[in-house]
Amino acid sequence: MVLYALGLVETGYRFGGKNPEAGLDCSGMVSYVFDRAAGIKLNGSAADIARRGRSVDLARLRPGDLVFFNTANRPHSHVGIYIGDQRFVHAPSRNGKVRTDSLNNSWFSARFEEARTYFD
């Protein structure tokens, strides 16, 4: 999961984007990685994806779990893939490319909502 996600770093952002050739948004990136790496279909918006899986405490995060943020004044408006060491891969509209960031970053920590796992 982590290798697939890291392989998308620097891919261009596109709202509604579902594949790296055309560009990815946050939920498109998650859907693409989960499908390719694990054969798990996670479709829809970040909020739709958050309705699946089960909640996991931050202290128990594992690589491949998803982290959700309120970045647009609405719950679960952004999602990223946790890769370990308090870092995650995501496709932000700002700066226009898939990148890694830290959960400890003050901007993201203030907007963090929950983490969810889709694995046993």
Say whether 76 is catalytic.
Answer: no
Catalytic: which of 76, 78, 99, 116?
Answer: 78
Catalytic: which of 90, 92, 99, 115?
Answer: 90
Q: Write 12-20 long-range contacts (CB < 8 A, 24+).
A: 12/96, 12/97, 13/91, 13/92, 13/93, 13/95, 13/96, 13/97, 13/98, 15/93, 17/91
Say whether 78 is catalytic.
Answer: yes
Residues 6+ apart with CB under 8 A from 29: 5, 8, 11, 81, 89, 90, 91, 98
Catalytic: which of 26, 30, 49, 98?
Answer: 26
Catalytic residues: 26, 78, 90
